[in-house]
Amino acid sequence: MSVTIYAIAERAGVSSSTVARALRGDAKLSGRSAERAARIRRIAQEMGYRPNWRAQAFSRCKTHAVGLFHTHTAWIHEGTMGEIAGGFTMAMRDHGYHVVIVPYDAEGQWQELLKDGRLDGIAISHYLPDDAREAVEESGLPRVLLMDKTIPSWPCAVSDDLGGAYAATRRLIDLGHRRIAMYLHDSIRKHFSVEDRHAGYEKAMREAELAHEIQFWHLPEERLPDVLFCGGDRPTAVLCYCHVEAMAVYLAAWQHQVRIPDELSVIAFNELQYARYMTPPLSTMAFNTTHIGRVGANLLVRQIQSKDAEPERVVVAERLIERQSTAPPDKRKTTSAGRGRAASIQLR
């Protein structure tokens, strides 16, 4: 015999309408109301309650399904975007929603999902092409951006890349480094995270009166040795756009017998599991990927539950995880040879 909300209400000592709100996963609940809702859900689970999704969808004109739109298959299954997608999926499940992966394709098959009423809302991970943006807006679906803030009128959950780059650069300066470069692989296209991380790096350098030491490299890994190891004023530290650039720096250092961190300190964005297994373990500027996914889910649920919900922009702080790839500079190899030279920006 199936468990009803009336049986749950009797066990919990509340009304059936209270049980219904709790099982619906109302994102507006807070404080004691949220605690009571959690208690009701625990009781429902103990009693073996299973919602009748078909009946609920019919009565509410809702499918309890949301889309997770992405433009790059690998991103959604691995790395930081994979972790964000995991947090988003778990949070949507807690709210009673299933997540449907919506891959972008040139043929436009994804547009059918936006038009045929199968989705109650959609989340966009990382990047949205212009034609997809127009289609989402025309659909009228509630939406949220994950790790993207380029559409001001849409709610979004992003990491504080500017603050993270500032803190990472500031840490290198505090260790005694002066010649600090920032490295971005030339395959990376224009993205707000590039601009924010560059801005945070420059802010820290200028505040420390090191504007003359600014070096921003946008080049392939094959050219790294030319800028890393040539000349008497080579950098003693590198801030990498992400873990991929850090691996390229590690390889170049190994090939040229440059010791990390004795002769070169390295910090990179993205706290992925293998950072701790690199030799030496890599210091990273980490953002809570699972939390970003959950925040994005909560923002989307609010949009679904209320057409009048204001689009929010939630910026999640980053934190430095310091391992063995950073140390004070080798005093024997640091001179003032670079002082007075103009800021160096090397682009492809």
Two tokens, residue 53 = 């999704």
| pLDDT at residue 331, rounded to an integer | 58
Matching CATH number, 161-287+321-346, of 3.40.50.2300, 3.30.1490.190, 1.10.1240.10, 3.40.30.10: 3.40.50.2300
Query: Which one, of 214, 222, 221, lies nearest residue 185 by Cα?
Result: 221
| pLDDT at residue 180, rounded to an integer | 96
Query: Which one, of 336, 172, 178, 338, lies nearest residue 239 by Cα?
Result: 172
CA distance linking residue 125 with residue 101, whole number of Å:
11
Number of Cβ within a 10 Å radius of residue 102:
24
| pLDDT at residue 338, rounded to an integer | 39
CA distance linking residue 264 with residue 326, whole number of Å:
8
Q: What is the pTM of this model?
A: 0.75
**CA-to-CA separations, 176 to 180, 337, 343, in angstroms, rounded:** 10, 16, 19
CA distance linking residue 40 with residue 159, whole number of Å:
33
| pLDDT at residue 28, rounded to an integer | 61
- What DSSP assignment string belongs to 29-65? --HHHHHHHHHHHHHHHHTT----HHHHHHHHT---E
Q: Are 181 and 217 in contact (CB under 8 A)?
A: yes
Close Cβ partners of 89 (under 8 Å, ≥ 6 residues apart): 68, 99, 293
| pLDDT at residue 17, rounded to an integer | 85
| pLDDT at residue 342, rounded to an integer | 35
The CATH number of the domain covering residues in 59-159+289-317:
3.40.50.2300
| pLDDT at residue 278, rounded to an integer | 92
CA distance linking residue 80 with residue 86, whole number of Å:
10
| pLDDT at residue 347, rounded to an integer | 41
Domain boundaries, the chain: 5-51, 59-159+289-317, 161-287+321-346
CA distance linking residue 62 with residue 43, whole number of Å:
25
Q: Which residues of the chain have pLDDT under 50?
A: 54, 58, 74, 332, 334-348
User: Topology of 5-51 in CATH?
Assistant: 434 Repressor (Amino-terminal Domain) (1.10.260)
Do 161-287+321-346 and 5-51 fall under one CATH topology?
A: no
Query: Which one, of 120, 259, 241, lies nearest residue 186 by Cα?
Result: 241
| pLDDT at residue 72, rounded to an integer | 65
Q: Are 343 and 191 in contact (CB under 8 A)?
A: no
| pLDDT at residue 343, rounded to an integer | 42
Two tokens, residue 65 = 């399904």
Alpha helix segments (H runs only) across the chain: 5-12, 16-24, 31-46, 53-60, 73-77, 79-94, 110-115, 130-139, 161-174, 192-207, 224-228, 243-255, 289-305
| pLDDT at residue 267, rounded to an integer | 98
CA distance linking residue 210 with residue 206, whole number of Å:
5
